[in-house]
Amino acid sequence: MSTPLEKPQIISHIQKGLNYTVFDSKWIPCSAKFVCMGNFARGTGVIQIYEVQHGEVQLIKEIEKAKPFKCGTFGATSLQQRHLATGDFGGNLNIWNLEAPEIPVYSVKAHTEIVNTIDGVGGLGIGDGAPEIVTGSRDGTVKVWDPRQRDTPVANMEPIEGEAKRDCWTVAFGNACNDQDRCICAGYDNGDIKLFDLRNMSVRWETNIKNGVCCVEFDRKDINMNKLVATSLEGKFHVFDMRTQHPTKGFASVSEKAHKSTVWQARHLPQNRDIFMTAGGAGSLHLWKYEYPAQRSKKDADEIEMGVAGSASLLQNVTLSTQPIASLDWSPDKQGLCVCSAFDQTVRVLIVTKLNRV
Amino acid sequence: METEQVSSMLDLGTTKSYKIPVEHLDYSFIEKCTDVRHLEKILAVLRSGEEGIYPALTEFCEKKIESLDPRSQALRKEKPPATAASFSSDEWREIMCDLKSWSKEINQRETELKYQSVLDNSENVPPVRGSNVFVPSKQNKINKGKTSKNKVVPREYSEWDKFDVEKECAKVEGCNKEKSSPGLINHGLPKIKRKIDTTGLTDKEKNIIANREKDKGNEFFNAKDYEDAVVYYTRSISVIPSVAAYNNRAQAEIKLQHWNNAFNDCEKVLELEPNNMKALLRRATVYKHLGKVKEAADDLKKVLQAEPENVMAKKLLHETEENKDMQSKKQPKGKRILIQEVEDLDDEPETESCLLVGGESAAEKGEMGNAQRKFPGRGDGGLQTEEKTPSTAKKAQTKRGSSEKGSYQGAKEQGQVNEFQRNESYAGDQTSPSSSGTDSSRPDVPVDSGALPPDIARLKSQGNELFKSGQFSEALLKYTQAINDFTEAEIDSPGDLSILYSNRAACFLKDGNCSDCIQDSTRALELQPFSVKPLLRRAMAYESLERYRQAYVDYKTVLQIDSGVQSANDSVNRITRLLIDQDGHNWREKLPDIPAVPLSAQQNRWEGTSANYEQTQQKTKGFGGSKPVQDTGKKTEALFLSHKQEGNDFVKKGQYKDALGKYTECLKLKSSECAIYTNRALCNLKLNQYEEAKQDCDSALQLEPSNMKAFYRRAMAHKGLQNYAYCMDDLKEVLRLDPKVAEAEKELQEAAELLSKRSVAPDSQEKQRKKIQIQEVNDSDEEETENTRDRNDGKEVNRHVGTGDNQINHCGSENMFPLQPTNAYEFGQALNAVKSKEDIAACAKLLCSVEPENLPSLMSNKLEVDSFTIIIQALDNHLLQKDPILVYRHLVHLHEAERFKMVSLLLGKTEKEQVKQLFDHLSTVESVQFTSDDIQNLAKHYLF
């Protein structure tokens, strides 16, 4: 604290109050614009596009649809098209051309219940291979979609019949380092984390972190699995080193008590995979840096390789609101620029300084 | 202070929340306390204010905690976001200006992006994920393969701890593969493409991608994954070459000690930016390590001219100058580092022993007669030379002796003794095999050259001594002198000269003079082809020069000669990895040809010993079992080895049943040899006795828990038994042991596919059948895997499809192989399938689908008598009428295949008849492509 200016600082650059509940916010790639998705009080869904101009945000466009939007991603679209894929309360997956949003360019009834979470890969030059979208829903299923294929998912991961269906809260793509390899990580309300290998179509690994998994994210989608951050309901997050998988112990991990309440989000800096921000239930943001151990793997008693976890150190923390921060997104184009939305019906544009000196 | 004392006197109890004695809330206590946890509790009490508010004490406590544990959570305070006030006005202005200029720039970029024509780059994109297409998820949700795999069971944490894989696997009995996967290390290097396909992308996008790849490289660099970093920098360069990416790659290469690559990258940077300080510095580092002290100093001086304060440059310059001094006395240090890497491979200078192994086996071969005599090997040649040598040597000796007037008395004596020893050892080899024992004992008994003139012999032994004591350059001089004398004396003993060259090569290698080492090794090899040591040395030299391909070839040759050379095995693995990095998946195509080692040189050790043992046996028989008891151990050992060898031979000839018997006998003699189990497993697999194969693999794995072959074969056995889940387990284990085993990966995919298919099967045969049909018309990719499945598991298909369903079956057998086998593995698989069914028509199709030019490479070293026969039959019966030119071309290329000579020798009468018939038929065909003379010439290759 004696040298506050050498550490990264988090500046709340712009705040904008909204007249609806906002669930997700995302930067539009290659622009100074972002979208907010949410729920009008009258029960309809809304997408707003804002542009950062001269120290404030300008509303560019507002789109209202029948069902409230829960989540969205640009992960599976090309830079030229920049179509937004959304999941809504009705279980639909839609892909919108934001220039012509009257009818979706792709629409499917993906789930029987609300789509909690969505992620995309293969677009924007991130991740080799086909563009694919994964959705996770309260109906307990995780489905993978290819925008080129109508109506049916290309992969469907659901509990076998008779088993209790757990609410899937979060999904994330990873390991898309070449055309064939691709993994999906899904987190469930009972603390289960499952890693699906799309190449082998199998569960590669699963674990349980005791409390509901609010967010999982790979540090990068398009490299060999390196790290995975999973945040949980009771204020902890876990960083798994995904390099070395032990046959019984799985992946090594380090956990850190981050917030005094639920950690809603964890997002890695696109420009530096070892820095990530967590967003908490009490309106706080924590900026972390992961430090690798000297040796990332060691041999156990039976001469089997096992991973060694590093440690996470807190770089900065701020409190923005009293309400949970539900979404957080780093700008892919400008290092340190970030948008977050909270349940106080406010969207904020943040600037994090000195990230390149960390 | 006063109030505090009062309060503590009034209430000497504990605090409310943590039950801390109140007197602990005190400066002196906090000062002394080192228990962070306790201090944190005190801080919590102080902050809560339940015992009163003491701001100074609270701050004091915070400071104390910070000094003990700066990362303590208790120190985290809620903080408001930073505002303009938190920065100096300059900083704030900078931040805001930066943002403004960025938004302007990005807006411009966005408009540019909009006005660019939308290019369709869909051809770059892989097809829609195939395996789950068209499966209506509503109808058979439960049956779908991946569905069953995903069991969202709420598993309690404690339960997870007790998770027992074996039990769990047994419970789910093969059809449900809910289990923990084997240990894996995600080394993705071989999997990552080194080039990015950017067709159809705009410059803007390319720029973004190049930058992103570079960033990824930086991240890997920071995480000390230098190899990955190099890959990602390479990717970035493949999109748009940039100074930064080259520069960073140079640094990563330096970290990996790939000096040449680093040098090239620095050069590229300096080409683009002649005054790039970083590149100059890095080049200086490379120079320094390559021992080019002068160049390094030049570069560093340039840097210091521009940046006189550059600490790094100063330090390097200092080191370099030190090095320079040392160099004037000794060899540069940098070079030694490189050599140290390979040093452990082979430290001893070569003595005669190495050659003797070869020569002796050659002699034995001559004696062994029959089978081996056919081969035009160097066995006979070797023998002749050996016979000649003593006399010529003697001549030389007398010549020397007379010219130098007995001054070499002692040396001469030595030479004679040596000669005697040598002769004796030959005699021993031929007559008393028991003395030769196992070949491992051989190198310990250095038998010195007897054929050498005494002075040369002395020079050589002096050289050896010097080498052993580490004085390589002196040893070098001795060897050089010896070589000079040798050539002057015009002695006709290539073997001895070869050894001298080989020894000198060792000296060069030690001195880091790799190119001379290569030259000498090559000379040694010209004189004495296929001797292990010079090959090894040349390989090491190539490796240090980063000429990995040549090194690979040499190591491989060594392994062909003696597969037990551990250092060669290790190096081959290492180089394979490097080559894959360098050349990607097709690295093999860029390799120079690996010379086929004649059989006489190949297994000389084994055959040598087994021959000995056979003799021992005969002798034992001759003595009518009156041999002393101590020989019985040796005898069983001998029997064991000979059985094993016979078994191996049977396997090579494809007579798996016979081989099986031999191996079983082996195991009766000695049941602790892992290799026998794996070999027998192979036979069992070939004979479709999967259960037995599995048992053998189990035994092998008990002996050697990480035997990759055993895992792979057990996987195949499981596959045969239709236990796909187990099969996948084993394959994953194989991949864990060596992620590069392409076959295992392929099989794994196949097994996964099979498993998902099978879990559907029991429920709805009708549906399954439909599904196959859908997939067959679907796309070629899918068809391929489907058919592979058919081939591998005909039974299963029959069950699903129904035996009466001829059409599908027919379909399956017709396209049993990939239409265009692209590598030796695919081709081998296809050929095996054809062979097992004796489906000559299918073989003909297969031959149609490959370019004759590729045939030898596709065949690789897998050519066997039966495959040869079926190819000949296919050519004769099916292809000849359709396309005689193709037949001709195939024949032209077939005889270039690796094991062709070998196979042609093993052909039986009927096979030879068939070949003759084919050529007869072919010669009746008239074509512009070839004349009857051509055919006759060609026939000579096939018919001796």
Q: How are beta strands A56-65 and A69-73 bridged, if at all? A: unpaired
- Sheet with A272-280, edge to edge strand ranges: A263-269, A272-280, A284-291, A311-319
Q: Which residues pair with A53 in a beta bridge?
A: A56
Tell me what pLDDT residue B359 has.
Answer: 36
Of B26-35, B356-365, B503-512, which range is least confident?
Answer: B356-365
Chain CA centroid to CA A216, Å? 7
Establish if A15 belongs to a structural domain: no
- DSSP letter (8 states) at residue B798: H
B493 or A147, greater pLDDT: A147
List the single best residue of B93, B152, B727, B747 to mutate versus A (max A Cβ within 10 A).
B152
Interface membership of B739 toward A (CB under 8 Å): no
Q: Specify the DSSP element, H or E, that contains A195.
A: strand A192-197
**Residue B468: count of CB within 10 angstroms of its CB:** 12
Q: What CATH number is attached to the domain comprising A208?
A: 2.130.10.10
Q: How are beta strands A297-299 and A305-307 bridged, if at all? A: antiparallel
Chain CA centroid to CA B545, Å? 19
Are the C-beta atoms of residues A194 and A203 closer than 8 Å to each other? yes
Cβ-based contacts of B134 with chain A (< 8 Å): 152
CA distance B220 to B234: 13
CB atoms A12 and B83 under 8 Å: yes
pLDDT tens for each residue of B207-252: 878 888 888 888 888 877 788 888 888 888 888 888 888 888 888 8
Q: Specify the DSSP element, H or E, that contains A132.
A: strand A132-137
Residue B398 contacts by C-beta under 8 Å, 6 or more apart in sequence?
none
Q: Vertex B144, ends B141 and B146: CA angle to 5°?
A: 115
Decide: helix, strand or coil at residue A12: strand
Question: Is-above-0.80 flag for pTM?
Answer: no
Cβ-based contacts of A125 with chain B (< 8 Å): 201, 205, 208-209, 212
CA distance A320 to B73: 19
Closest CA to B206 of B197, B194, B216: B197
List the single best residue of B131, B146, B208 to mutate versus A (max A Cβ within 10 A).
B146
Closest CA to B486 of B437, B529, B527, B540: B527
Q: Which residues pair with A232 in a beta bridge?
A: A213
CA distance B786 to B788: 5
Tell me what pLDDT residue B759 has.
Answer: 57
Over residues B843-865, mean pLDDT: 78
List the single best residue of B150, B204, B216, B759 to mutate versus A (max A Cβ within 10 A).
B150
Does the pLDDT value for residue B305 go beyond 60?
A: yes
Are the C-beta atoms of residues A13 and B99 closer than 8 Å to each other? yes
Tokens of B921: 């038929």
Which of B71, B113, B748 faces A80 most closely, judged by CB atoms?
B113
Establish if A40 belongs to a structural domain: yes
Tell me what pLDDT residue B117 has.
Answer: 54
CB atoms B186 and A225 under 8 Å: yes
State the virtual CA torsion across A330, A331, A334, A335 in degrees, nearest 10.
Answer: 10
Mean confidence (pLDDT) of chain B: 67
CB atoms B86 and A9 under 8 Å: yes
Does the pLDDT value for residue B731 go beyond 50?
A: yes
CA distance A206 to A196: 9
Closest CA to A230 of A177, A191, A173: A191
CB atoms B155 and A81 under 8 Å: no
Chain A residue with the nearest C-alpha to that of B210: A125
pLDDT tens for each residue of B366-375: 334 343 333 3
List the single best residue of A30, A97, A195, A287 to mutate versus B (max B Cβ within 10 A).
A30
Q: Specify the DSSP element, H or E, that contains B716.
A: helix B708-720
Over residues B670-679, mean pLDDT: 77
CA distance A18 to B747: 55
Percent of chain B with pLDDT over 90: 0
CB atoms A202 and B182 under 8 Å: no
Of A70-84, B730-744, B885-899, which range is least confident?
Answer: B730-744
Over residues A235-240, mean pLDDT: 89
Establish if A7 belongs to a structural domain: no
Confidence grade of residue B358 (pLDDT, cut at 50, 70, 90): very low
- Measure the N-to-C terminal CA separation of chain B; round to a whole number of Å: 113
Tokens of B59: 């701050």
CB atoms B183 and A304 under 8 Å: yes
Mean confidence (pLDDT) of chain A: 87
Interface membership of B97 toward A (CB under 8 Å): no
Residue A261, classified by CB atoms within 10 Å of its CB into exposed (0-12), middle (13-18) or buried (19+), is middle
Interface membership of B132 toward A (CB under 8 Å): yes
Where does residue B923 fall: left (phi above 0), alpha (psi -120 to 50 degrees), or beta otherwise?
alpha
Q: Å from A66 to nearest chain B CA?
A: 25
Tell me what pLDDT residue A271 has.
Answer: 86
For B742, half-sphere exposure in the C-beta direction (CA atoms, 13 angstrom radius) is: 9
B652 or A253, greater pLDDT: A253
pLDDT tens for each residue of A21-31: 999 999 998 88
Tell me what pLDDT residue B633 has.
Answer: 56
Establish if A9 belongs to a structural domain: no
Q: Å from B378 to nearest chain A CA?
A: 45
Tell me what pLDDT residue B597 has.
Answer: 65
Closest CA to A167 of A185, A186, A181: A186
Q: Specify the DSSP element, H or E, that contains A7.
A: none
CB atoms B185 and A80 under 8 Å: no
Cβ-based contacts of B215 with chain A (< 8 Å): 271-272
CB atoms A152 and B83 under 8 Å: no
- Helix, strand, coil percentages, rounded to 5, for chain A: 0, 55, 45
Range 67-96 of B in CB contact (< 8 A) with A: 71, 73, 76, 78-83, 86-87, 91, 95-96
Decide: helix, strand or coil at residue B483: helix
Q: What is the ipTM of this complex?
A: 0.83
Q: Looking at the 3D structure of chain A, how many domains does it have?
A: 1
List the single best residue of A80, A151, A184 to mutate versus B (max B Cβ within 10 A).
A80
CA distance A14 to A25: 14
Using the structure block, give the residue that is written with the tokens 């084994």.
B606
pLDDT tens for each residue of A242-276: 888 888 888 888 888 877 888 899 999 988 888 99
CA distance B393 to B261: 49
Using the structure block, give the residue that is written with the tokens 């057998």.
B813
Cβ-based contacts of A149 with chain B (< 8 Å): 128, 133
Are the C-beta atoms of residues A221 and B167 closer than 8 Å to each other? no
Q: Å from B569 to nearest chain A CA?
A: 21
**Residue B324: count of CB within 10 angstroms of its CB:** 15
Of B127-131, B213-217, B487-491, which range is least confident?
Answer: B127-131
Establish if A6 belongs to a structural domain: no
CA distance B233 to A269: 20
CA distance B49 to B44: 9
Q: How far is CA B893 from CA B830, B850, B857, in A?
A: 19, 12, 10
Tokens of B839: 């489906």
Establish if A206 belongs to a structural domain: yes
CA distance A262 to A233: 4
Phi and psi at A20, nearest 5°, equal: -150, 165
Tokens of B169: 């696997």
Q: Specify the DSSP element, H or E, that contains B248.
A: helix B243-255
B644 or B156, greater pLDDT: B644
Establish if A14 belongs to a structural domain: no
CA distance B724 to B874: 34
CA distance A146 to A135: 11
Tokens of B328: 């004037």
Decide: helix, strand or coil at residue A108: strand
Confidence grade of residue A19 (pLDDT, cut at 50, 70, 90): very high
Cβ-based contacts of B113 with chain A (< 8 Å): 30, 79-80
CB atoms B82 and A200 under 8 Å: no
CA distance B230 to B213: 11
- 3-state SS, B899-917, equals CHHHHHHHCCHHHHHHHHH
pLDDT tens for each residue of B539-582: 888 887 778 888 888 888 877 777 777 777 778 787 887 777 77
Interface membership of B106 toward A (CB under 8 Å): yes
CB atoms B202 and A80 under 8 Å: yes
Establish if A267 belongs to a structural domain: yes
- DSSP letter (8 states) at residue A87: E
Range 222-281 of B in CB contact (< 8 A) with A: 222-224, 228, 232
For A50, half-sphere exposure in the C-beta direction (CA atoms, 13 angstrom radius) is: 27
Cβ-based contacts of A166 with chain B (< 8 Å): 152, 154
Are the C-beta atoms of residues A257 and A236 closer than 8 Å to each other? yes
State the virtual CA torsion across B312, B316, B318, B323 in degrees, nearest 10.
Answer: 170
Size of interface A-B (CB pairs under 8 A): 260
List the single best residue of A111, A222, A223, A308 to mutate versus B (max B Cβ within 10 A).
A223
Q: Å from A20 to nearest chain B CA?
A: 24
> What is the per-residue burial (b if ≥16 Cβ within 10 Å, else e) of B651-666?
beeebbebbbbbbebb
CA distance B558 to B553: 9
Q: How far is CA B796 from CA A41, B175, B653, B808, B845, in A?
A: 58, 15, 30, 13, 25
B740 or B364, greater pLDDT: B740
Give the domain range for residue A165: 20-357
Cβ-based contacts of A78 with chain B (< 8 Å): 121
Does the pLDDT value for residue A13 go beyond 70?
A: yes
Closest CA to B647 of B635, B633, B661: B661
